[in-house]
Amino acid sequence: MTRTAPSNPDPGFGFGRGLVDSASLILGYFPIAVSFGLLAVGQGLSPLQALLVSAVVYAGASQFALVSLLAVGASPVSVIGAVAAMNLRHLFYGPALLSRLPKDGGRVPRPLLAFGMTDEVFALASASLTPRHTEMWLLGVQAGAYGAWLAGTISGALLAQAGNGRWPGIEAGLTFVLPALFLALLLPLLRRVNVVPLGLSAVTALGLSRFIPGHVALLVAMMVGAALAAWRSGDRDGE
């Protein structure tokens, strides 16, 4: 594989910097995890069980599905199948990020890196990784995101258990956190050369989501957009 930039990891871009850089993910994850904690306890789980789901599965949308399907008495096989199907889009995240991690410098065990490879971690890393970033930076980002996910889950679960009501104003603001995060991550990636592939990806996702589940639409859209970008850059390189 040809690397696009020389690998020159900077120790300043290590675990601590990753934790700091995960602030946007913490901001995005915490309220969603609070919502999950509220839902899980509302569906009959204890706060510890809700925390267990977040700690072990650690995959936002599919956790909501898992708890909701179990609550309506779905079979274990169908619940596990649904969880796996919803996360199939993660198949490409590891190989895509590995191709951008520095060749030199300290290595983080792959089984550890794989655990924290969520949509948002992948998005942030895709938008941020440079040859100066170390693998520990990615682990720091993942640690911040995972910590926020667990903290939000237990907060939401305890709130639900305490019988507190909801706060419509704050809840409304929280619903915009993820779109705002994705927009903020997309902005630095916008170049004239990739507007068309990115637009195609967005339009494909929107169009398909009217007919098929959103997680499937996402998987197809990201592949279509990436295929177009790869084809166009190959054309420019004369391949």
Identify residues 10-39 at the interface with another protein (CB under 8 A): 23-24, 26-28
Q: Which stretch binds another protein (CB under 8 A): 8-16, 134-142, 151-159, 171-179?
A: 171-179
Q: How many CB atoms lie within 10 A of CB 33?
A: 25
Dihedral, CA atoms, 216, 217, 223, 228, nearest 10 degrees?
Answer: 160
Give the residue, chosen from 87, 134, 142, 153, that forms a contact with another protein under the rule CB under 8 A.
87
Say whether residue 212 binds another protein (CB under 8 A): no
Taking CB under 8 A as the rule, which mask of x and - marks residues 106-125 in contact with another protein? ----xx-xxx-x-x--xxxx
Residue list 45-84, contact with another protein (CB under 8 A): 45, 49, 52-53, 56-59, 62, 66-67, 70-71, 73, 76, 79-80, 83-84
Q: Which residue has the tokens 């072990």?
A: 56
User: How many residues touch another protein (CB under 8 A)?
Assistant: 105
Distance of CA 77 to the CA centre of its chain: 25
DSSP 23-39: HHHHHHHHHHHHHHHHH
By the 8 A CB rule, do 24 and 181 touch? yes
Angle at alpha carbon of residue 50, lines to 48 and 52, rounded to 5°: 70
Give the residue, chosen from 108, 127, 143, 216, that forms a contact with another protein under the rule CB under 8 A.
127
Give the nearest distance from C-beta 89 to another protein in angstroms: 8
